[in-house]
Structure formats: C-alpha cells, structure tokens
Structure 1
Amino acid sequence: MADEELPEFEVPVGMFQDLEDLKAQVARLSAQVRELTEQGDPDPGEASADTDTAAADEPETDGDEEDEWQFPPFILLLDSPQYDDELRALIEWVEGVLVPGYLAEPSADARWCHLWFEHPVAIARLHALWLAWQELTDPATCGYTGPSAWHRDHLDPCMRELRPSNGPFAGCTKGEHQVDHRMPGVVPSAWNRPEG
C-alpha cells in the first residue's frame, strides 16, 4: 500500500485562507475560554453549599454585563463624557497609526479631510475600523492572520467608502472644509401630504 500513488487534488487558494481564519477563530475562542475560567473564584472549594444554592437562585446582576465588554462599545451608542473620551482615543489612533501608515496624499480620487472628526459618517466608519484593528492585531486572540483579515475585510472597504470623490469628504479640499455638504435638503415625498 505504501507504493501506491496518492491522487493529486487541486485545493483552491481561498480554502487555505478559510482554514487560517478558522484557526484564528478557534485561537480567539480558546483565549476567551481561558480568560473566563481564570476569572472564576480563586478557591471554589471553600464556598459552602448554602452560598452556591443562593447564588443559583439569584438572577444575574448588572456587574456581570460590565465584565462582558472587552473593547469599548460602538461610539454612536455612547453619550458624553464617554463619547468624548472615546473620540479622543480614536483621534489618537487615526492620527498616529492610520494617517501616517496608510493614507497617501489626498487627491481628487482619494479624498481626506484633516477635520474628519467633524464628519459623523467618518467617525462611525473609522471607529468601527479601529475596533476591528484592536481585535485583529492581537495574536493571542486571533492568531497571526488577524492583520491580513483586518486589511482585507475592514481597512480596504472602509477606505473605499470614505475616500472616493463622492464620499463624505467630497466637499472638502486642501484649503476648504465642509461638513454639511452631505446633509439632505427637504425632499418632496409621499411622507408630506399636501394640505387641502
């Protein structure tokens, strides 16, 4: 049987990427399981049976929900002062990582506004990009293919939406900044009934 030749199979390249993504997901889930098991009681053997039954009868508290957040929630769900703090952190990341590392000189086909933080659409998209970056650049949670997935699945689509000539920065040029150029005007529609 050792002398038999094995048939050659053609494996699609995409399958290797899918396998690497699955490995990264398993690694991330394994890290989360380890983290959750380490957060348990330091010495569960000392707890009495009475406290175990009492704890089982009680509903979960809000404190458990707070522990679920590993990363900050989406910025549009925050109110001040949390929104302001998150925006400051986002500005540091965009200006310190994204702009110098990934953005070339703005042009008519690749717009960018130096006051991007005054564009709500840009804040939302860049915050989502930053949240993905925080998760996918940590090898402990996503393996070594995380950065590749971040570029492919997050950075490239985000830049395609933000930087085209008809994107949110369409009215902004090097010397001029316009925030309200994307705001819709009053549009006649079926929602407005004529008074009669």
Structure 2
Amino acid sequence: MADGAADQVLVEDVEDLKAMLRAVQAELRDLRESGSGRNGAADERGETAGEVEAEQEESADWQYPPFLFLLEGDQRDAELRLLAEWVEGVLVPGCLGEASADARWCHRWIEHWDAVGVLHAMWLAWQELTDPATCGYTGPSIWYRDHYRPHIADLRGPGGPFAGCTKGEHRTGHRLPGRVPSAWCTPEDDI
C-alpha cells in the first residue's frame, strides 16, 4: 500500500473513532438527563445531587476484601464455613489428586492456619476469575496458572504445611516456629 493510501486509511480510522466518541458522549448525556430522575442541579462534573449522594453512600459501604485474617467473630466464622464448602466441594474433588509422599494433603486442613490463609486467598481469586462478568472467559485459565498451581505446589510440597501429616497421622505443631531471638527478650525470660 502506498504511503498516501496508508495515510488516507489512518485519517478515516481517526474520523471513525471521533464519530464513535461523539455518539458515546451523546448517549451518556441522554442517560444523565433522562434516567436519573434528577434530584437537584448538576454539579461541575454533570452529576446531580442524588447521584453524588448515591456515590458517597456506595463508597461508605465499601469494605476491604474479606481476607480471612482481617475478619473477626461471626464474620470470620461465616467466611470459614464458606471456605470449607469451597475446599471440600470444589477444590478437593475437582482439582486435587490422590495424596502421596510427594503431594501431601491433610483432611484436617482447617487446623493448619497457614494453609487456611493460602486456601482463602485462592478462593477469593477463584470467585473473581470464574465470573465471566469480571474477567471474561479466560479467568479460569488464569486462576490455574497464577493461583492454583503455585499455591498447591507450596501447600502439598515437602516444605508445606502438610509436610508432617501422613494418611494415618495429623500434626499441626510441626510447622510452628520456635522462639525468635529479640531485643525485647533476654535469656532469663526462657526460664
């Protein structure tokens, strides 16, 4: 294609984009004017008082993501129940193979608090990445690649939280760290 023809195609593309932008802006204007039931004059951004109030109310209701370690009381208990349903109903039967010496799994996983944190993080990612409305149809693949594989390898590996557990024996204490030396503690404190 000659340079003149390429320039003409580029100019046409830019003009098409400008037309599309004008159409979207007009549609937004129409929506603001007709769909919001105007509760007062518009502010400098074109929002009505009702829209501003709704936006402020929505931001006041927003909370941080419900990561388990940040929750307390009934909220934590409810989240743990939902996590257990997901782990036992989706993850274990659908994703995990048979436990072995190289790929351990503890049926009492909920007693391994470090594993619970990882599993909860995986579950939060699963909720987001299996919803086509938030991630399209590639979300499950991303979840397997970025969340499932690395975390399961760590959880089930020889240095993971289930390393001391076998099919016949469960131990949670094997992963607890010893006392960390500190400027706040003296050797006499150990007595």
TM-score calculated relative to the size of structure 2: 0.69
Aligned to 1:179: 172
Superposed CA deviations along residues 65-95 of structure 1, whole A, max 9, x for unmatched, are: 32x35x9511111001010100000000011
Cα 1:189–1:141 change in 2 (3 A) is closer
Q: Distance in 2 between matches of 1:84 and 1:181?
A: 25
For residues 107-166 of structure 1, the C-alpha deviation after alignment (integer angstroms, 9 at most, x for no partner) is 111010001011111110001000101111111211111111100000001101100122
* Bigger share in helix: 2
**1:163 aligned to 2:148?**
no
2:112 counterpart of 1:119: yes
CA distance in 1, matches of 2:96, 2:42: 60
How far apart are the structure 2 equivalents of 1:44 and 1:54? 8
Q: Match of 2:137?
A: 144
CA distance in 2, matches of 1:160, 1:141: 27
Question: What residue in structure 2 maps to residue 103 of structure 1?
Answer: 96
Separation of aligned partners in 2, 1:165 and 1:153: 21
User: Alignment partner for residue 69 of structure 2, among 72, 76, 83?
Assistant: 76
Q: Is the 8 A contact 2:38 2:50 kept in 1?
A: no
> Which runs of 5 or more residues in structure 1 are unaligned?
3-37
Q: What does residue 48 of structure 1 align with? A: 40
Q: CA 1:151/1:64 → structure 2, altered by over 3 Å: closer, same or farther?
A: same
Counting matched residue pairs gives 155
Which residue does the alignment assign to 2:17? none
Quote the sequence identity (%): 59
**Aligned CA-pair RMSD:** 3.3
Q: Say if 1:187 and 1:148 are closer, same or farther in 2 by CA, change over 3 A.
A: same
How far apart, in 2, do the equivalents of 1:99 and 1:124 lie? Answer: 16
In structure 2, the gaps of 5 or more residues are 3-30
- Larger Rg, first or second structure (1 or 2): 2
| Greater relative contact order structure (CA < 8 Å, 6+ sep) | 1
